[in-house]
Amino acid sequence: MRARFIFSALATTLIGTAPALAQDDLSVDQVLGAWQKQKQIFHEAQSSGLGQTRGLKLIAVEGVDAAETAPQQGVSVTASTDAPTSTDTTPMDPNKPLVAATATTTTTTAPLVFGQLDPELQVNLQIKFGFDSAALADDQKPRLDKICQAMKLSDVQLFRIVGHTDTAGTDTYNERLSVLRAKEVARYLVEDCNITASRLETLGLGERFPLNQDDPRADENRRVEFQALS
């Protein structure tokens, strides 16, 4: 059964983290190994009723709608000033305001429980986006090649793509931007790498979980994280 990790509120405390694994420094085999460990940890947490699991801290995240984590169903990220629609496939312009178009989902008020992995178990990738943009530039696409290769070789059924930002900008703005960027990475993996859409779900957490807690505006905090849920 696919792990969803969307439950009622869970009290827990965020602790400091050491530098996590940068995707650029990992081979495809190392990415696969990290994902296998992640999958086992998430399975143990699910089997124990979301009890404490070594290598994983479960954190209740308020204000993130559970529907945002739904597996990708024809998601498109567009540049437009119009209201979003589920069929809008307008090419993105990095210089225009961003909106996301998603399939209709059922919303819930239950907070999402995010599984924060220990730094040595995380798989992160720094992707450079334009200012106020979620458009994936051509020169950044090769940075996703290892992820694409690893996903094709992996038996993981469900990946979570998590967008993170630094603290520049408001909380609301950063969360919105992180959602759109996670969706854009998922779109690329589906459309350009031929990854099955149902294997991917996206989540934007804004500035909540900085990689470098000593410098919340550091470049490394602007990243995309890949989790192997099941």
DSSP annotation of 204 reads E
Cβ atoms of residues 213 and 17 within 8 Å: yes
Q: Of the candidates 195, 207, 131, which has an alpha carbon nearest to the alpha carbon of residue 162?
A: 207
Compute the distance between CA of residue 46 and CA of residue 138 in angstroms, rounded to an integer: 38
Report the DSSP beta bridge partners of residue 163. Answer: 204, 224
| Domain residue limits, the chain | 21-228
Mean pLDDT across the stretch 18-24? 51
Choice among 41-45, 78-82, 140-144, 148-152 with the minimum mean pLDDT: 78-82
Domain 21-228: CATH superfamily, name plus number: OmpA-like domain (3.30.1330.60)
For the stretch 47-97, pLDDT in tens is 887 667 889 999 888 877 554 555 655 433 333 333 333 323 333 443 344
Predicted confidence at residue 216, as pLDDT, reads 85
Compute the distance between CA of residue 110 and CA of residue 47 in angstroms, rounded to an integer: 21
DSSP annotation of 42 reads H
Compute the distance between CA of residue 103 and CA of residue 14 in angstroms, rounded to an integer: 33
Q: Which residues contact 81 (CB under 8 A, 6 or more apart)?
A: 96, 97, 99
Predicted confidence at residue 110, as pLDDT, reads 72
Compute the distance between CA of residue 146 and CA of residue 22 in angstroms, rounded to an integer: 12
- Residue 27's φ and ψ, nearest 5 degrees, are -80, 170
Top pLDDT among 143 and 17 is at 143
Mean pLDDT of the chain: 76
Q: Of the candidates 194, 36, 210, which has an alpha carbon nearest to the alpha carbon of residue 124?
A: 210
Computed from CA positions of residues 143, 18, 172, 74, in that sequence, does the dihedral angle turn out positive or negative? positive
